[in-house]
Amino acid sequence: MFRTGRLSPRSWLLLGLPPLLLLAVLNPYPYPYPAPWSEAGQGSWQGALRDLKDTALPGGATAALSGCGARGPVRPEPRGAGERDALPQLVVSSYGYYDPGPRKSGHPRFTITAHIAPGDRTLALPAPVGEHRVTVDMYGPRGEGRTASARGLTADVVVGITGKRVKTPKSGEFRFTPDNDLTLQVELPAGALCPGYTFTKITQCSPERTNNVEDCPVMVLTLSDPAIRAHRAGERSESPSAVSDRLVAVTYEPNVTDT
């Protein structure tokens, strides 16, 4: 089972560094097309991408496969004021693929763990958190393009390094404070993988043994909710309609201070 050390949201903000990627275990699924990073796979892979369409995923989400191979800036255009402010902030702490194997309980999962740093004011989000409003996009290293994409996901609220799911409070909302242990966990479905990719491949750096973060994949996690807009509007002079309802986390951005 993969595990990472846990830092508080405030500590993540102070570090201001891209999170460490979890190493994925071997994936048993074969490539549906010749591997796109191989010379033999270039033609068939590019041809497959042109014909891809978005498809429904179990639970009401969508695999945005029509965007496979897309390049350019990975951060989406802001929806309104406050989206790129320091707080509140969504911070990815870890992600990776885990296959328990036939001798252990559970099923293979690609999970993303993220913290919400609300600042000095509590951020209250109704349960389920980000219901059908969570997006995950994976991009290959050095402009390789989008390798996986899902829209309409929902986050689980967990606590501790064991990832134990937290029951919905009687109030019907989760309250995120600077000091609590609540963490978001999002699962990326296998159906969101672009042709030629596996869960193992989308987490690999190229070369694998590198000290350069630019050689590693980039993940973009977004969560939107009207409560986020209300939280931001409480500290800004703009009208609520001009304030973004979205939190965006990018694991690595060149020249991040200019975004």
Amino acid 237: pLDDT = 77
The HSE-up count of residue 78 (CA atoms within 13 Å, CB side) is 11
Please write the tens of the pLDDT for every residue from 130-164.
999 999 999 999 888 999 999 999 999 998 766 89
Q: What is the pTM of this model?
A: 0.79
3-class DSSP state for residue 99? coil
3-class DSSP state for residue 152? strand
Amino acid 95: pLDDT = 93
Please write the tens of the pLDDT for every residue from 187-221.
999 999 999 999 999 999 988 889 899 899 999 99
Amino acid 27: pLDDT = 38
Amino acid 228: pLDDT = 95
Give me the chain's average pLDDT, please. 81
- How do strand 145-153 and strand 134-140 relate by DSSP bridges? antiparallel
User: What's the gap between Cα 170 and its chain centre?
Assistant: 28
